[in-house]
Amino acid sequence: MEDNQMSNTVIINNKTYIVPEVSFNTVCDFEGIGINIFSAKDIAKAPLSLTRAIASWIMGVDEQTAGAEIQAHILGGGNPADIQAAFVKAMEESGFLRGMANLVKDE
């Protein structure tokens, strides 16, 4: 990332977090908790669980802690859609996911 570009950030409970890059391990971590980030069906059936998992990943905390932070964020007027949007942006900017897309195109 160039120095003049803003990193992908999200504010949760008035604290700014830098959103990590989505990597192979990120995808595996989400699969490990039963969430296929590429499946609209999985995302639609448990959007709040996905939001909590995303927040946990961004914040580097366990899911229970992330859930408490999201609840406080919402009660304080925050919108969980901001957390989801930050993850979508991270997916769009992921070198790993771009590489995977190129593999699929080449087949």
70-82: buried (b, 16+ CB within 10 Å) or exposed (e) per residue?
Answer: beebeeeebebee
- Is 83:50 a contact under the CB 8 Å cutoff? no
pLDDT value of position 41: 86
Top pLDDT among 87 and 103 is at 87
pLDDT in tens, 27-53: 999 999 888 988 888 888 889 999 999
- Is 27:74 a contact under the CB 8 Å cutoff? no
CA dist 53 and 59 (Å) reads 10
